[in-house]
Structure formats: structure tokens, C-alpha cells
Amino acid sequence: MKCEVQSCENEATVHLTEIRDNVKHEMHLCERCAAEKGLPGKQHFSIAELLSGFATSAAQTAAQTQKTRRGKEAACPGCGTTITQFQASGRFGCPECYTTFKDDVQGLVEKIHDSSQHIGKVPKRVSSEISLQKDIRQLQVDLKRAVRREDYEKAAAIRDQIRQIEKK
């Protein structure tokens, strides 16, 4: 795709989408034209930065609540990491951080993974019983999601599927 500036023949590498009054407006520019308009150019970020972005609002709320309750922000007894430091880096300092900040990040983990429990994969050669258990766990996640969306017809159908599998 070419840059939208009439006198420019460069390839567009900056793509901006803005929604104004429920109308989608897109702009496709090369880096030079975007810089001339004062827009940010191509930006690269790591997965840790992406995850820390997810954590920003939850961590800020949690940190503010902890500060007002205790007068200062709580820190992990194992390494001294605070929820604000986790927010900035997207990483905990030690395994004890997971226990210390469990209440603060549980919602974030569930939002990212649709579950608070790691299920993993099942090898193809595994017995059918384990495969059925995996199917039931996935259906239970789908059931919770349907109830959360208040799609009760779908929830009832999923519940019936779970019952049929449990009879086997």
C-alpha cells in the first residue's frame, strides 16, 4: 500500500485507525510523512511490554488501594518487587511474588488465558479417559464464558454436553 500523501511514492508503513462519532477513519503513511505530521512512526515492543500493558489498569488500581490502606506500597518479602515494578516490566522478581500479589493479578491471568488454571496439552496417544476429562474442562470454561455473556441457551446446551460426556 502506498503512502496517502499525494507527492509521496513511498510504501505506507504507519497505519492509524481512529473512530470518531462511530465512524472509522484510517490513515496510511510512510514513516517520513508520519513524522512530518507529528505522528509516531513504527514502534516495536516485546511480549513483556504487551503483557505489562494489560496489567496497567489492574496494577494501578491495586497499588493505589494498597498505598491508601497501608500508607506505602506492599512489596514481595522474597525479592522486594512491588506491583508498580511488575506493571512497568511485566515480570515478577521471584516465585514468591505470585503468592504475594495473587489477588492483584488473578483477574489479569483469567483475562489473558480464560482460566486461572493451566491445563496443558494431551498427547495424541493418550487414553480416551484423559481426553474426555480434557473435553469436560474445556466445556466448563465455555460454560462459564456463556454464563458471563448471559447466553443462557448456549450455556444449557453446553451443560447437556458435559452431562452426556460424564455418563460415558
pLDDT tens sequence across 90-106: 788 888 888 888 887 77
User: Are the CB atoms for 40 and 34 separated by under 8 Å?
Assistant: yes
- For residue 23, the SS3 value is strand
pLDDT digits (tens, 9 = 90+) for 12-65: 888 888 888 888 888 888 888 888 887 765 555 555 655 555 555 555 555 555
Which sign, positive or negative, has the C-alpha torsion 50, 96, 114, 147? negative
pLDDT at 48: 60
Please report how the helices 152-167 and 128-148 are oriented relative to each other, as an axis angle in degrees rounded to 10. Answer: 160
Query: What pLDDT is attached to residue 113?
Result: 66
Work out the average pLDDT over 113-137. 72
How far apart (Å, rounded) are the C-alpha atoms in residues 114 and 120? 13
Mean local confidence (pLDDT), 140-150: 91
Maximum mean pLDDT: which of 10-19, 127-136, 159-168: 159-168
pTM of the shown model: 0.34
Q: List the domain boundaries for the chain.
A: 1-44, 47-113, 128-167
Assess whether pLDDT exceeds 50 at residue 126. Answer: yes
- CA pair distance 78, 100, nearest whole angstrom: 9
Question: Any long-range contacts for 8-12 (C-beta under 8 Å, 24+ apart)?
Answer: 8/32, 8/33
Q: Report whether 100 contacts 62 (CB < 8 A).
A: no
Residues 106/112/117/118 CA torsion (nearest 10 deg): -140
